[in-house]
Amino acid sequence: MTGKIRVLIVDDSASVRQTMASILSEDPAIEVIGTAADPFSAARRIQEQVPDVITLDVEMPRMDGITFLRKLMAQCPVPVVMCSSLTENGSDTLLQAMEAGAVDVILKPRFGVADHLAEHHLQIRDVVKAAARARLRGRPAARSFHSEPPPKKLTADVMLPPPDNKPMSRTTEMVVCLGASTGGTEALREVLEALPANSPGIVIVQHMPEHFTRAFAQRLDGLCQVDVREAVDGDAVLRGQVLIAPGGKHTMLERQGARYQVSVRDGPLVSRHRPSVDVLFRSAARAAGSNAVGILMTGMGDDGARGLLEMRQAGARTFAQDEATSVVFGMPKEAIARGAAERVIPLGNIASELLAATVR
């Protein structure tokens, strides 16, 4: 995309429409081409000009956002970012939105919405930019666009020191670490559904807001042979179990003798994320070394690229998802460029490659 990202904002709240328009318009790479108070008004705007990205509220009059999303994906696929109140019940609704084709989500509180959105302006812009690059069915991935330089990002150094890369004895158990962002919810579902019940222990960082990860884990648990749960500090990493890093917390791998457990901690944003894939991968390089497998999947930015390289340097097997099957080929591309990925593999092969790499 050589021009600006054209965005249509759909929300029944006038204050939210105004705040979102102000936040997005301040970025030179983004142009707000219009706002709409309900899906019917949005449909008329789309007939006049098809946007590159739509931000879509869930609860609206005349037609709810999920119904509109399904109709839109069937008739005119456009990258959609859902914008909804942060509630436990809303988490299930937003997961339905991801299944229906939404590429990401922006969460807003019940009260103080304008202030909350303004406080998270960088994240909102990043989400919209990632959506603009998303690869949808029947729609090619967008090219790069001009933008202002991003603010300086913190690295995993703020959470734990780099690995010393000393040779580590092999244990009888392997541990797998997965990282994903935009497009990752459905990609991870495909991978985990293909795994048998006795799969090696897995720890996952998927960029998600707080509370959303619990509903995501519960949904996957009902679909997969492996047990899937949101990680709790001190949880053991066990065969046949998948731990999802909770939103708003960093999750790290620790070694206790020949066993592994997770540490869930507060901390600053790393690579502009919390949880951060870089933090998980670095901890795996330190704690597991050659007993680990690292896989970096679809997502925008570079979170996880540095950590995957550290895992490879520590003797771990490392893989990156290929461009053709990535919704956004940002994180894997950066890892490949750094020489962090031992191999580049399509989404459909990740489960089998993961299992093969953990066989002793």
Residues labelled as active-site residues: 181, 207, 303
Instruction: Please spell the DSSP secondary structure of 135-159, one letter per residue.
Output: -BTTBPPP-----PPPPP---GGGT
Helix-helix angle 212-223:88-100, to 10 degrees: 60
- Pair 259, 236: CB distance under 8 Å: yes
In terms of DSSP bridges, do strands 317-321 and 343-345 run parallel, antiparallel, or are they unpaired? Answer: parallel
End-to-end CA distance of the chain: 46
275: cis peptide before it, omega within 30°? yes
Report the DSSP beta bridge partners of residue 208. Answer: none
CA pair distance 276, 283, nearest whole angstrom: 11
Alpha-carbon distances, residue 197 vs 1, 39, 70, 242, 345 (angstroms): 43, 43, 33, 11, 23
Instruction: For 252-266, give the secondary structure using H, E and C.
Output: EEEEECCEEEEEEEC
| Cα distance between residue 186 and residue 243, in whole Å | 16
Q: What angle do CA 348, 350, 354 make, to 5 degrees?
A: 150
Selection from 214, 222, 212, 340 nearest residue 285 by Cα: 340
